[in-house]
Structure 1
Amino acid sequence: MGDGAEEALLWGWQSAPDQRGTIDILWSCLATTFLCSWSCVCLNLPPPDSTPTQGLMQRIRWQLFTIFFPEVTVSLAAEQWESANQGVKKFRDLGYDDTFFNHKHAFFVDMGGILLQSPAFPAFPIDSQQLAYLVEHGYLSMPAIADDDIADKSKADNFARALAAVQIIWFTLQCVGRWIQGLGLSTLELSTIAFILCSLNMQFFWYRKPYDVRSPIILHTEHTISSILVNAGEAACRPYKRTPLDFIKPPPDDKSLVAPFWFGVDSVFHRPEDGGRRPIRCFGNNKTMPPAGISNNERIYGIFLEFLYFGLHFLGVFCPFPSTTERWLWVAANATLTLLLTIYMLAIYVGHKLQARFGLWMFQKETRSILELIEIMPGWLKFAIHAPFIGLYVAARAYTLVESFYGLRALPPRLYVCVEWSNFFPHL
């Protein structure tokens, strides 16, 4: 072909194709989910003898758990936040202002940041309510812990959090733009939007919780544990389950939205806290249970958020599916999850009202909460009650996650068209 014919085919400017590929959808969703789950999950202090590798594996396990059950992690973060609020209030009642004890201090203590060392007894963690008791009764002097001291122990990855915020904003704008222009979303993108909703709540509730702290502060007291228990009187007569200061906190709030879940998991998988050691050396990451419980407003918000999270997945019926069977399986899986959530909420309400009667009728024992009722049940009965619900819950959730990825194998052409951003802005 001659030079003239070749020059006739030359173009001065060629725009990039207005398309995206399957790898672009996959990468965008995975990057958003990874950054959100890595930056928002704040764990308690690990056991004193844990290695950095064990700490990393613990973080990865909790990251995977958060990706699989983000609504549970949100409830966990919310109740830890409320526990910190009640700790701050307790110290304010004792006359200490935010200079001595604020929300950052409360989170640090509640996550196992302070160990109590008494004569001839192993050191064990104390929470903010127990610290207040020890200070109020003269067993300890008020520790002078500056915010900078906690910040030095915290390894907050502000860069990761900033990167996650940018990714969330960009991903959300993309999804809104696609919805406005009628381009549609894949089920994976819809699931990612639902996960973003949960991660934003985690970021709010854990905003002041120190990140990745590994070394606690040890406070020494000259008083023996025996003398503390004797002076406490009848309240300290019961055998302790975690530490000798268990008597300072009331029984778990049976209206908690997340504590029954962990009791059910422990009933099925039998995982004792801190390997069964007593006293424990660290607080488990599933520790919540605010001493005064949660308020009605907090409970209503928690229920609303749970149903909103599952409701967003129901919108997947409008997303494209490779087959009609997969569409109906998606609806069935999310209907199952919503039904299980409804049963769970009803069980908490009924258990709160009738647990005392059940305890006397079934076991001839007085119980103060539904959690105490569950504890006195024989192991086979606890397993028989919880295992079917947990198995069904995991199976339905697993299907939604698998289908979100598997459905990418066959999408309509409009799903690959990019958003025309110029349509959203006036131009000359």
Structure 2
Amino acid sequence: MIHVFEPKSSIAHTSYVLLFILIDGSSASSTFRPNCTRPPDGVNFVYKADIRATFDILWSCLFTLLICTWTVQHLNIPDQSIIEDEAPPKWSLSQKFHALAQKKWSHFFPKLKWMLLTLLLPEFLLGKAFQDRVLAGRSWREMQPLAKADKVEWTLTHSFYANMGGFVLKAKKRHIKSGSEDVSFQKAYIFLDSERLYLARSGGESDLHKPILEHLPSITQDEIDDKSKGDFFVKATALIQVLWLLIQVVIRAARGLVVSQLEIVVLAYSVCTIITYVLCWSKPQGTQIPTAIKLPKPVNVDLLELVSTVSRIDCLHSLPNDGRYDKASSLFLPKEALQTLLDDGFVIGAVVFGAVHCSAWNFHFPTSAEKLLWRIASTLSTGVVPLYYVVLLYDFHVKKFRFLSSYLWFFENVVVLSYMFARLYLLFEVFRSLCFLPPEAFLTTWVQQIPHVS
């Protein structure tokens, strides 16, 4: 193999300048383009060159990052006002096209929004998955006596399905009466999470309420799985890409070859993705239409008060994806601390995400100051959220003393700001360091022969 050194002038160099504009030009003013000799006649199989380019690292990492954050989304069932409204026959062609476009894009934009949120805060999605898994487990245990009495199947998948808005009470041409106020509607979907469904079936603990439903919905796990629209090919591609990255990092570390900071960051996202996948293993994905349960009697305030654990308007809208409808107490702290399952999961996600960054503790950096800043930022990213979690545990005690409240407020803001700046620095440094990698970072291993996207 013949390697040719080219100073400055090349299309690749221009791309570097545009992509890494924050880099010191005097330090990154040259490129290296390897040229291989043409194989002789009679050769039928040619191996890949034994080096990798900077853009090979960049594109493979970005693809892994995007496909992980896209496929990991397990969103709740959307609002049915868009999904099921049919175009009146008198609509013009343009009106029908607009309605169809709105219906189609209503699936895409929420997923895109949560993908972008996952890129910014992967620990939040892991925390939401942790909350969903714990609540589904509780619901599964609570529903077993009712399912046995009704002779219907109720699995962990059923609990996930219920908590994502899979079961709705459907009413047509009814009225909701609340004193002197009448709320009319032609179509209403009263969304039931597992707790509301349990109350609707059992009647609650009070003898004043009779069960609204005569039995639990009769739907099998296979039928729920059939509603799931998770793309197996996309998930398989994401899994292969993540496994390839993991093997790549392990083999390079074992052989003493340099691993880039960008690969470590993407590995951190991948670890969070894998944990989220495990927590959501039984949760349907991409379901758009819920299972409707016909109401045995007209809708009234008594029914809404029974099945709604929050408010009337909440049960008339689809369940939000951010978990704010749930206020389940923390698994690890006393109830008076006010922390929730979502907080528990967020802390776990932050520790996992930050700890992977700490594995780059002794990596090569452009300057010693940047190495020190990386160590500080990765430590803060790992430890600040648990510290904040503990501080909030005693928050309600401290606020009893006014002279301590101001100090606590100041400390909480310092903690939040330090976490934000630490994450911003890590994001900046991974791309800056990519253009200052030592030559050993570009040597390849046999892992490069495994099918992957780069």
Report 1:241-390 matches (<5 A): 242-244=310-312, 278-287=314-323, 293=329, 295-296=331-332, 306-351=350-395, 354=396, 358=399, 390=416
Whether contact under 8 Å (2:127, 2:345) holds in the other structure is no
Say if 1:341 and 1:302 are closer, same or farther in 2 by CA, change over 3 A.
closer
Among 105, 121, 127, the residue aligned to 2:193: 127
Instruction: State whether structure 2 residue 212 is matched by structure 1 residue 139.
Output: yes
| 1:395 matched residue in structure 2 | 421
Among 29, 50, 57, the residue aligned to 1:18: 50
Among 202, 220, 225, the residue aligned to 2:300: 225
Larger radius of gyration: 2
Say if 1:401 and 1:54 are closer, same or farther in 2 by CA, change over 3 A.
farther
Task: Indicate the larger mover: 329-338 or 59-68.
Answer: 329-338
For the residues of structure 2 that align with 1:295 and 1:134, how far apart are their CA atoms?
Answer: 27
Among 68, 83, 106, the residue aligned to 2:159: 106
Whether contact under 8 Å (2:71, 2:234) holds in the other structure is yes
* Post-superposition offset of 1:385: 9.0
Matched letter for residue 73 of structure 2:
V
For the residues of structure 1 that align with 2:127 and 2:381, how far apart are their CA atoms?
Answer: 16
Structure 2: which 5+ residue stretches go unaligned? 1-38, 83-102, 177-187, 204-210, 334-340, 403-408, 449-454
Whether contact under 8 Å (2:353, 2:382) holds in the other structure is no
User: Kindly, what percent of the aligned residue pairs are identical?
Assistant: 24
* Post-superposition offset of 1:83: 0.7
* Post-superposition offset of 1:279: 4.8
For the residues of structure 1 that align with 2:136 and 2:314, how far apart are their CA atoms?
Answer: 25
| 2:434 matched residue in structure 1 | 408
For the residues of structure 2 that align with 1:401 and 1:167, how far apart are their CA atoms?
Answer: 21
Say if 1:391 and 1:213 are closer, same or farther in 2 by CA, change over 3 A.
farther
For the residues of structure 2 that align with 1:280 and 1:228, how far apart are their CA atoms?
Answer: 12
Among 41, 44, 66, the residue aligned to 1:34: 66
Whether contact under 8 Å (2:310, 2:325) holds in the other structure is no
For the residues of structure 1 that align with 2:411 and 2:363, how far apart are their CA atoms?
Answer: 36
Whether contact under 8 Å (1:188, 1:404) holds in the other structure is yes
Whether contact under 8 Å (1:80, 1:288) holds in the other structure is no
* Post-superposition offset of 1:151: 2.7
Higher share of residues assigned strand: 2
Q: What value does the CA root-mean-square deviation take over the aligned residues?
A: 3.5
Say if 1:200 and 1:116 are closer, same or farther in 2 by CA, change over 3 A.
same
For the residues of structure 2 that align with 1:113 and 1:99, how far apart are their CA atoms?
Answer: 16
Task: Indicate the larger mover: 152-161 or 220-229.
Answer: 220-229
Matched letter for residue 243 of structure 1:
S
Secondary structure at the aligned position of 1:281 is classed as coil
| 2:183 matched residue in structure 1 | none
Say if 1:100 and 1:291 are closer, same or farther in 2 by CA, change over 3 A.
farther
Say if 1:395 and 1:116 are closer, same or farther in 2 by CA, change over 3 A.
farther
For the residues of structure 2 that align with 1:241 and 1:213, how far apart are their CA atoms?
Answer: 24
Higher share of residues assigned helix: 1
* Post-superposition offset of 1:17: 2.8
Matched letter for residue 125 of structure 1:
F
Q: Normalization by structure 2: what TM-score?
A: 0.68
